[in-house]
Structure 1
Amino acid sequence: MSESRKNAAALTRRATLTTGALVGVDGLLNATPAAAAPRESARYTRGWAVLREASGERGAAVVESLRDIAPDLGRYVVEFAYGDVFSRAGLDLRQRELVTVAALAAAGDTASQLDFHMDAALNVGVRPAEIIEALIHLVPFVGFPRALNAVGVARKVFAAGDVTFEPPVMEEGGDRYERGKEKLLEIDGAHGLEVVESLKDIAPDLGRYIVEFTFGDVYHRPWLSAPSRQLVTVGALTAVGDTAPQLRVHIGAALNVGLSARQVVETLIHVVPYAGFPRTLNAIGVARAVFEERNSSR
């Protein structure tokens, strides 16, 4: 395929909406906030700028596709998801797109939205290997099926954008349990070992799998930083819901690896457009307890 045809194909794909509608590329490039939302506001203008920075003309296409059926929904996407949430300080766009991909993959049945946000992640500088690594990292928290489905979406996104990379392959070595125990202590501290010890009277092998697979295999992989892993973990657990004990451990781990309390809270707020207020409110309650416990122990 010639370079010009590749470029044209890429533009056509970016104009294909998550809803399945198609908007002309010229119209997208000429779209303005006022055209998409008659009641333009400062929030809308701010959100529009962030949306275009993250996703280019593809974001404009999503808003445009809603004008004939739910224009206010399109306006809320711009004003709230991007004007209020994405534009907040505390996390950069790379971190926010990683959290978004994690939350969507954890929620399941979100292929169209994953396609959109994986494309946006690449657009803001997340490396292809980091996207795949984030999906591998999710396996202990949401299972193989959702991770496999998300990897399938990533394959399509990479192919459509002519993205090529050499997928890393881990060379295993040493004792998995000892390696995992060392990583568990590094990430979760003594509390992580307490969780494993608590299983010895009923499911000791489950505790062993946590150490060997979650920490000896997955956390041990070097292609995603420790802070990024905890952003992915906290975002995914919040999106799944009903994970208060695990969130308690991993919010603590986020602080252990250098994330600030503000960054943890920003991660939870960021999940609202993708998993809703109830799950985020529950997660905020867990974070409050972790922060209070940390402060009281000083």
Structure 2
Amino acid sequence: MRKLFFIIVTAIGMMQIPMQSINAQNMKKEEVPQNISAFPVGKANTGFEQYFTGRSWLAPLTGNKDLNVPMSNVTFEPGCRNNWHSHTGGQLLIAVGGVGYYQERGKAARRLLPGDVVEIAPNIEHWHGAAPDSWFSHLAIGCNPQTNQNTWLERVDDQQYAEATKGNVAIGLQATDPELDDIFSNFTKEVQEYGALDIKTRLMVTLASNIASQAQAEYRITLESALNEGIAPIEIKEILYQSVAYAGMAKVRDFIGITNDILLARGVRLPLEGQSVVSSETRFNKGLELQKSIFGERIEQMHKNAPDNQKHIQRYLSANCFGDYQTRSGLNVKTRELITFSILVSLGGCESQVKSHIQGNANVGNNKDTLLAVVTQLLPFIGYPRTLNAIACLNEVIPEK
């Protein structure tokens, strides 16, 4: 049983989900959901609908009773949950899509994301279902099926459900540190009054900065705002991918996981459509071409003048940094240079590269006013030392008139 359980969990992580967007909040009531996980949705759960508030779907995944592992995929529409109930033999739940909740009688509700596992002991009264604003799917595995029986109890009423799901929202600064929250909130509004950046650009450069700063809590807040403002999942993914070249995968991987959880919770199917435009044969030449279009012929000199034992780094810059990442579609060159600038000033200690990309930004049409507006936007998130270092680099490369 434990071996089978491990295989199931491993399979969930390895399966790839084809691209198709489902907007949970805008889906019409009569529509049947597409898969929000690698598992089938199945048919309307009419056999148990009297025990559910809202609509659900059921897809049995096993049929051999001799194996004694009955398993089904259950899909809930936003807000749907089952009644309080218990199992004499216990149950296992594995979240596979969207965002859901599980609650035991007398305890706080637990928020569930894909990959989360719930072990339910025999005779424990509980309920589970979707978040108010997200579709949700989980695998339900019956334990001790020869003797396991369900006892269905009363409904989870709207007040209970609202209280349970509200209780899992992270407590903000306003609740614990109201003075700091007021100071920070007021200052972030103040810096947004400087410059002519549109809201989309402000959010995109802040996302890039949050990644470089390893600011997971701020990234979650910014990402939700970005999606609400219409920034496309493809654009967000491209910010993440490009960040790997400048911040490294060790700093980016967790943010990819955060992003995937939030996108799945909003009904976005993963993986997204591929954006690569190079092959193993063309990545160096196309990367070098892009480098030269941004920085000029000095790139040729960098390749030529590099010591023999360091020429491989110049090749990597052309083939990997620019060929693999920056040639990708999804973001234009001007936006990519702003993203790079935001990452570098947020990392700190990268003044040489900051100066190079200030010139690169100027070459593709991002003038000093734009770059100063970006640095100002990032000030509340990266602090004064890095901001002042960035402005010093900016004044050196593009002196004040």
The CA RMSD over aligned residues, in Å, is: 2.7
Alignment partner for residue 141 of structure 1, among 246, 269, 289?
A: 246
Distance 1:87-1:123 versus aligned 2 partners, 3 A rule: farther
Distance 1:3-1:183 versus aligned 2 partners, 3 A rule: same
Distance 1:200-1:157 versus aligned 2 partners, 3 A rule: same
* Aligned residue number for residue 331 of structure 2: 224
Distance 1:67-1:268 versus aligned 2 partners, 3 A rule: closer
Gaps of 5+ in 2: 1-75, 81-97, 100-129, 135-160, 164-168
* Aligned residue number for residue 277 of structure 1: 384
Greater relative CO, 1 or 2 (CA 8 Å, sep 6+): 1
Equivalent runs, 1:13-24 vs 2, <5 Å: none
- The one-character-per-residue Cα deviations of 1:228-256 (angstroms, maximum 9, x if unpaired) are 10111111101000111101111111111
Q: Is the 8 A contact 1:181 1:215 kept in 2?
A: yes
Q: Is the 8 A contact 2:200 2:231 kept in 1?
A: yes
* Aligned residue number for residue 84 of structure 1: 190
Alignment partner for residue 65 of structure 1, among 172, 175, 180?
A: 172
**Range with bigger deviation, 144-153 or 187-196:** 187-196
Identity over aligned pairs, percent: 26
> TM (normalized to structure 1)?
0.75
Aligned partners of 1:68 and 1:94: how far apart in 2?
29
Structure 1 position 100 matched with structure 2 position 100: no
Alignment partner for residue 284 of structure 2, among 174, 177, 185?
A: 177
Q: Is the 8 A contact 2:275 2:328 kept in 1?
A: no
* Aligned residue number for residue 115 of structure 1: 220
Aligned residues: 247
* Aligned residue number for residue 131 of structure 2: 9
Structure 1 position 234 matched with structure 2 position 321: no
Aligned partners of 1:167 and 1:187: how far apart in 2?
27
- The one-character-per-residue Cα deviations of 1:35-65 (angstroms, maximum 9, x if unpaired) are xxxxxxxxxxxxxxxxxxxxxxxxxx98x83
Gaps of 5+ in 1: 13-23, 27-60
Task: Report SS of the residue matched to 1:76.
Answer: helix
Q: Is the 8 A contact 2:277 2:328 kept in 1?
A: no
Aligned partners of 1:86 and 1:170: how far apart in 2?
34
Task: Report SS of the residue matched to 2:276.
Answer: coil
Structure 1 position 267 matched with structure 2 position 401: no
- Pairwise CA distance, 1:25: 8.1
> TM (normalized to structure 2)?
0.56
Aligned partners of 2:373 and 2:286: how far apart in 1?
31
Q: Is the 8 A contact 2:278 2:286 kept in 1?
A: no
Letter in 1 for 2:233: P
Higher strand share: 2
